[in-house]
């Protein structure tokens, strides 16, 4: 955070909120060992990195708060790279708050969200991708999210980005030699050929990483599933059925949903993001301004979805296939599935290629769940292997910046530009890559990344 002293002693609860058998309170920063020593019996010696049971007391009153396990970590051999410590105390709310209040009174301040990990990054213990991976490991709700988080936390993407950067630096060395020794004309062609070859290799690998984002995003954030159809087609009812709870308002009146709702849930262990939205009325039908905005959002989100579920009620005699074909041509969804809802009310002749589904009886729900699970697997099935992949919009944006710089390099090279301009574009590409793993000049970017962490991590 702007103006924050990142060397000051901090403390926070690192384990979960609420009652528990054991709670872990983490400390880090300048002087934390001396500060905590004041709460331990006089003459207590704690070997580094070894847990010891000690009474924890208030030095002002000598009142013992708890019999706790205490461990010291001396920087830089600690998570944050600073002197740090942990207190493993009983997990009752009163004990936790009493220990934290004591530490704050003795000179610690409450840690900000993600501040321990931010300090680890600032001290070179982690790169940004590993820090983001730690956050995602904490938040993972499914195997697919664990795969994506583990990939970041283990450093796979970092190694790939560092390899690309080293290749660009090697290409720059040839250009710098040509700039510094222009009279060596017999090697100029050789140098420029090697530069092009290396730049092309980097470009191809970045393009592969960019292409991996669709799968990596589904792994990290879940499959985006949009429910699309006319008013009263059963979209909200289906959303509630998949969620297993009443999230969307359902009435017999068409047009109840006017804005979109988004909720996450697990389907056969896979994370999906369900989006319910305003019904799309027939062309020429009058709608009020609020509903029109909802319909506009529905069309936009359907174009961004990983899969669109086109819904039509089975108790309708009119064949919706033509309308769905028009929607599909207009939206160009990545994938789609046609679902005949309210199948308990009839089975019309037009529904032969539609999945019949009844939220009232449950018929067809398991088939739909399996289809969505298969869609997730189609995206993420190849992840977690040898090749690095991208899961973050921030990483994707940086890769696009690097690609743009490389494209400018190839245009300049083809136009016979001076070596200084060619070197500049390669440097720009290398700078863009470095922002993925560190060296982010904008403090707001770091604030945004680490503010998404829980307190105590």
Half-sphere exposure of 374 (CA within 13 A, CB side): 9
Q: How many other CB atoms are found less than 10 A from the CB of residue 418?
A: 10
- How far is the C-alpha of 315 from the C-alpha of 360, rounded, in Å? 14
Q: Provide the pLDDT for residue 251.
A: 46
pLDDT digits (tens, 9 = 90+) for 173-228: 888 777 666 555 555 566 678 889 999 999 999 999 999 999 999 999 999 999 99
**Which tokens is 371 given?**
């289809």
Residue pLDDT, tens place only, 235-256: 888 999 998 877 654 445 444 4
| Dihedral angle sign, alpha carbons of residues 107, 109, 111, 116 | negative
Three-class SS state of 120: helix
DSSP codes joined into one string, 283-333: TT----HHHHHHHHHHHHHHHH-SEEEEEEETT--S--HHHHHHHHHHH--
pLDDT band at 355 (very low <50, low <70, confident <90, very high): very high
Residue 114: partners with Cβ closer than 8 Å, 6 or more residues away: 135, 449, 450, 451, 452, 453, 454, 457
Strands 223-229 and 270-276: parallel
Q: Which two tokens stand for residue 431?
A: 């700078």
Bridge partner residues of 194 (DSSP): none
Burial 135-159 (b: 16+ CB within 10 A, else e): bbbeebebebbebbbebbbebbbbe
Q: Give all strands (DSSP E) within 180-260, no chain letters.
A: 223-229
Q: Measure the CA–CA gap between 175 and 344, rounded to whole angstroms.
A: 72
Candidates 167, 223, 226, 169; CA nearest to 198 is 167
Domains within the chain, CATH numbers bracketed: 10-127 (3.30.1360.120), 140-212+388-437 (1.20.120.430), 229-263+279-380 (3.40.50.300)
pLDDT tens-digit series, residues 287-311: 667 666 777 777 888 888 999 999 9
How many CB atoms are closer than 10 A to CB 454?
15
- Residue 92 pLDDT exceeds 60: yes
**What's the pLDDT score for residue 191?**
66
Q: What's residue 308's pLDDT?
A: 94
């Amino acid at each position: 955070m702007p103006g924050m002293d990142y060397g000051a002693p901090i403390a926070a609860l690192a384990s979960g909120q609420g009652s528990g058998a054991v709670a872990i309170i983490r400390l880090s920063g300048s002087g934390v060992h001396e500060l905590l020593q004041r709460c331990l019996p006089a003459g207590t010696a704690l070997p580094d990195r070894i847990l010891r049971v000690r009474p924890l007391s208030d030095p002002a009153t000598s009142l013992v708060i708890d019999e706790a396990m205490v461990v010291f970590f001396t920087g830089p051999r600690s998570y944050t790279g600073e002197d740090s410590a942990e207190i493993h105390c009983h997990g009752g709310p009163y004990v936790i708050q009493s220990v934290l209040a004591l530490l704050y009174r003795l000179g610690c301040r409450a840690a900000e969200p993600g501040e321990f990990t931010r300090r680890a990054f600032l001290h070179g213990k982690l790169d940004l991708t590993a820090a983001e991976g730690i956050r995602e490991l904490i938040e993972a709700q499914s195997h697919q999210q664990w795969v994506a988080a583990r990939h970041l936390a283990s450093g796979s993407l970092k190694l790939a980005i560092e390899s690309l950067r080293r290749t660009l630096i090697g290409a720059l060395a040839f250009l710098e030699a040509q700039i510094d020794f222009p009279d060596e004309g017999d090697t100029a062609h050789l140098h420029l050929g090697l530069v092009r070859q290396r730049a092309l290799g980097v470009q191809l690998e970045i393009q592969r990483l960019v292409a991996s984002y669709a799968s990596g995003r589904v792994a990290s954030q879940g499959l985006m599933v949009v429910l699309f159809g006319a008013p009263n087609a059963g979209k909200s009812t289906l959303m509630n059925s998949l969620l297993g709870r009443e999230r969307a308002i359902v009435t017999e009146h068409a047009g109840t949903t006017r804005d979109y709702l988004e909720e996450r849930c697990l389907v056969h262990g896979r994370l999906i993001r369900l989006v319910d939205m305003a019904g799309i009325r027939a062309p020429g039908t009058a709608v009020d301004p609020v509903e029109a905005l909802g319909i506009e959002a529905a069309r936009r989100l359907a174009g961004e979805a990983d899969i669109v579920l086109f819904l039509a009620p089975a108790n309708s005699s009119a064949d919706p296939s033509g309308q769905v074909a028009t929607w599909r041509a207009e939206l160009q969804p990545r994938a789609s599935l046609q679902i005949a809802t309210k199948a308990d009310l009839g089975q019309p002749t037009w529904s032969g290629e539609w999945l019949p589904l009844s939220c009232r009886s449950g018929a067809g729900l398991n088939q739909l769940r399996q289809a969505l699970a298969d869609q997730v697997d189609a995206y993420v099935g190849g992840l977690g292997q040898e090749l690095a992949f991208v899961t973050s919009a921030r990483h994707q944006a940086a890769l696009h910046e690097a690609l743009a710089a490389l494209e400018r390099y190839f245009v300049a090279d083809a136009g016979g530009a001076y070596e200084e301009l060619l070197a500049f574009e390669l440097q720009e590409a290398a700078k863009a890559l470095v922002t993925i793993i560190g060296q982010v000049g904008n403090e707001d970017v770091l604030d945004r990344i680490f503010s998404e962490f829980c307190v105590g991590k």
